[in-house]
A and B are shown apart, each in its own frame.
Chain A
Amino acid sequence: MSDTPMEAAPFAEKAPDAPVRVLSEGLASWLLVSPLAILLAIFLVIPISVIVTVSFWGYNEWDFYPDFTFENYEYLLTSAVTFDTYVKTFSYVLMAWAFTAAIGFAVAYFLAFHVRSTVWQVALFLVCTVPFWTSNIIRMISWIPFLGRNGLANEVLLQAGLIETPLEFLLFSDFAVVLAFVHLYTLFMVVPIFNSMMRIDRSLIEAARDNGASPFQILTNVILPLSKPGLMIGSIFVVTLVMGDFITVRFMSGSQSASVGRIIQNEIALLQYPAAAASAVVLLITVLIMIAVMLRLVDIRKEL
């Protein structure tokens, strides 16, 4: 293709005085790419560059100042607190992931394979999204009157005679934190797994039955392997959300438990921006490594 205005020719007879202007191909491509490129630059590249830059700055009790020091990282990476917090955060991730994956898979399986009519499928799917009509914080806080020492759960159990003293672990505990995570993020598992399952050719299930597979064998040998891409996309959502969370951990643990996100939040509250930036960079790298490992395990490309 040349840069000459080719389209001009057919119109030449009708409007000889108004040649059609044609952008050069190079310019056209740049213009097409630019909206996304500009958005990414403003909302992704620049903020992250700022964070990375600030993470090398110095700070004291009342001020922070441009510098190029590795002290923030040195302190962060040698502190026992950092290590403990990461272990704690990983344990939250692992538990939240295991429960959301199990529940998400079960719900998606039910929707995709047991609900026969499309109308019911859509209806039940929408029911799954009902909790999302209100904000994260409200969904989280609404657990408190339910789980508290004098909450609904304890009252019911006491009256049913199943327990004699109120259960303490229900609220402001790791149990409460994981429960809230599962409640908040299970839908992020259901949607991609359901999507994967709906793409499974139903004749594969019949073929498996024809080859003597029991319902459980069909599940483990056909449905589970073919749902893996969806499971992996959901896992990426859950892992990144839980890794970066600070608000759920704070509310549901009653400020008794730490997570990486809460450390960053505290550092910001203390105006220790360089320390917070260094923590954020380390967290970002950790999450990216986790995603890279997960993508290695399952090829999700065919799902996109």
Chain B
Amino acid sequence: MSQDATLELVALTKRYGDALAVDRIDLKVASGAYCCLLGPSGCGKSTTLRMIAGHESASDGDVMLGGKRVTGLPPARRGTSMMFQSYALFPHLSIADNVAFSLKMKGVARAERLARAAEMLALVDMTAFADRLPAQLSGGQQQRVALARSLITRPQALLLDEPLSALDPFLRVRMRGELKKIQRELGLTFVHVTHSQDEALALADLVVVMNAGRIEQAAPAREVFGAPRTEFVARFIGGHNVVDDGSGPVAVRADRIAVMKGGMGLPATVRDIEYLGATVSVALQADQLGELTAVLPDGRFFADPVAPGEQVMLAWKPEDAHRLAA
């Protein structure tokens, strides 16, 4: 599976009647990279994924995988495999038969396809459940089975549609780790659709923030968080204050704002204090800039705490203010 699996979208467009769901997006995902499509619902991220998978036809533009144009091919002949949000396991088939489904469709003999399904189930640690029905499995277990069913087709790119949204928070973090591990081990290109910033930052080599059918920013996770390109990205990714410094909007990370009881700075009033464990979030009303949030490490905050109603001074380094494009 070490073949070239570079995924490239060229002016990819999806129109429903007059409505543009995806508006001429260009994107290049390096072979073996973990890419997250991030955005609010209705931003076109799922449509984009479904066009890559072939479950939605592209109105215009192309999908290239491993240097080959796959735009018109049926889903199974693109070298992609899709993992569905609800996992879409066949309820009438055992776990082993679910995993072996694609081999059955190809006409592989029963003994051989079950043997290969067993290998895949071993990979996701589900060997013990081979004879059960999907309804007898928990959400996390079903997801592993769905992963095994996708991987047995030996895809170059695995496409995941909100794979973690049906799980409880604890399991979500665990499955997140397992997805990343499998991606690293198999060296596949992953495209993962999510609306959770945490998920995207934790998993992705390439975070693609989408809004209204367009790509707002496509960059490594640290760059998206450290230097959001637009106001939308800064607000959506969270942890940022967007303020107007007179010459246009700038983004300042909440954890880069210093809250002082005196000295030089922007005068502000403390509105609220939220204790978050490792950090403390301070909601502020600045005289000129409106509402701001500062996030302080709990040690620093409690060394000299402020209280709601108190007057403080705010300051940040010039290099922490990122100018935003419109």
Chain A residues within CB distance 8 Å of chain B: 201, 203-204, 206-214, 217, 221-222, 225-226
CB distance from B92 to the nearest CB of A (A): 5
Would A211 and B153 count as touching, CB distance under 8 A? yes
With the chains together, A6 CA to B104 CA distance in Å?
A: 63
With the chains together, A206 CA to B75 CA distance in Å?
A: 9
CB distance from A209 to the nearest CB of B (A): 5
| Interfacial chain B residues near A217, Cβ < 8 Å | 105
Would A212 and B90 count as touching, CB distance under 8 A? no
With the chains together, A209 CA to B80 CA distance in Å?
A: 12
Would A206 and B101 count as touching, CB distance under 8 A? no
Would B55 and A210 count as touching, CB distance under 8 A? yes
Any A CB within 8 A of the CB of B84: yes
Any A CB within 8 A of the CB of B40: no
List B residues 52-85 near A (Cβ within 8 Å): 53, 55, 74-77, 81-82, 84-85
List B residues 279-303 near A (Cβ within 8 Å): none
19 extra interface residue pairs, beta carbon distance < 8 Å, beyond A203-B86, A208-B101, A209-B74: A201-B88, A203-B85, A204-B90, A207-B88, A207-B90, A210-B53, A210-B55, A210-B81, A211-B81, A211-B105, A212-B75, A212-B77, A212-B105, A213-B76, A213-B105, A217-B105, A222-B90, A225-B92, A226-B91
Would B86 and A209 count as touching, CB distance under 8 A? no
CB distance from B198 to the nearest CB of A (A): 25
Chain B residue nearest to A213 in the complex (CB): B105
Interface size on B, residues (CB 8 A): 23
With the chains together, A208 CA to B82 CA distance in Å?
A: 10
Would B91 and A211 count as touching, CB distance under 8 A? no
Chain B residue nearest to A217 in the complex (CB): B105
With the chains together, A226 CA to B86 CA distance in Å?
A: 17
16 contacts between A and B (CB under 8 A): A203-B85, A203-B86, A204-B90, A204-B91, A206-B82, A206-B84, A207-B82, A207-B89, A209-B74, A210-B75, A210-B76, A211-B102, A212-B76, A212-B102, A213-B76, A217-B105
Give 8 nearest A-B pairs by CB, closest first.
Answer: A212-B76, A211-B102, A207-B88, A203-B88, A212-B105, A225-B92, A213-B105, A210-B75
With the chains together, A212 CA to B102 CA distance in Å?
A: 6
Would A203 and B101 count as touching, CB distance under 8 A? no
With the chains together, A211 CA to B105 CA distance in Å?
A: 8
Chain A residue nearest to B106 in the complex (CB): A212
| Interfacial chain B residues near A203, Cβ < 8 Å | 84-86, 88
| Interfacial chain A residues near B102, Cβ < 8 Å | 211-212
Would A226 and B82 count as touching, CB distance under 8 A? no
* Max chain A C-beta neighbours (<10 A), residue from B85, B89, B90: B90
Chain A residue nearest to B91 in the complex (CB): A226
Whether A211 contacts B86 in the complex (CB less than 8 A), given A206-B55, A221-B104, comes out as no
Any A CB within 8 A of the CB of B149: yes
CB distance from B116 to the nearest CB of A (A): 13
With the chains together, A212 CA to B85 CA distance in Å?
A: 19
Would A226 and B76 count as touching, CB distance under 8 A? no
CB distance from B118 to the nearest CB of A (A): 18
CB distance from A291 to the nearest CB of B (A): 22
With the chains together, A25 CA to B76 CA distance in Å?
A: 61
With the chains together, A210 CA to B91 CA distance in Å?
A: 17
Chain A residue nearest to B50 in the complex (CB): A206
CB distance from A45 to the nearest CB of B (A): 37
With the chains together, A270 CA to B82 CA distance in Å?
A: 70
Chain B residue nearest to A222 in the complex (CB): B90
| Interfacial chain A residues near B55, Cβ < 8 Å | 206, 209-210
| Interfacial chain B residues near A204, Cβ < 8 Å | 88, 90-91
Chain B residue nearest to A200 in the complex (CB): B91
| Interfacial chain B residues near A214, Cβ < 8 Å | 105
With the chains together, A172 CA to B101 CA distance in Å?
A: 50
With the chains together, A225 CA to B93 CA distance in Å?
A: 9
Would B76 and A211 count as touching, CB distance under 8 A? yes
| Interfacial chain A residues near B86, Cβ < 8 Å | 201, 203
| Interfacial chain A residues near B82, Cβ < 8 Å | 206-207, 210
* Max chain A C-beta neighbours (<10 A), residue from B53, B75, B77, B153: B75
Chain A residue nearest to B102 in the complex (CB): A211
CB distance from B224 to the nearest CB of A (A): 30
With the chains together, A109 CA to B63 CA distance in Å?
A: 33
Whether A212 contacts B91 in the complex (CB less than 8 A), given A206-B55, A206-B84, A221-B104, comes out as no
With the chains together, A221 CA to B107 CA distance in Å?
A: 13
| Interfacial chain A residues near B85, Cβ < 8 Å | 203
With the chains together, A214 CA to B106 CA distance in Å?
A: 10
Would B92 and A226 count as touching, CB distance under 8 A? yes
With the chains together, A210 CA to B88 CA distance in Å?
A: 11
With the chains together, A208 CA to B77 CA distance in Å?
A: 13
| Interfacial chain A residues near B153, Cβ < 8 Å | 211-212
| Interfacial chain A residues near B149, Cβ < 8 Å | 207, 211
CB distance from B21 to the nearest CB of A (A): 17
CB distance from B94 to the nearest CB of A (A): 12
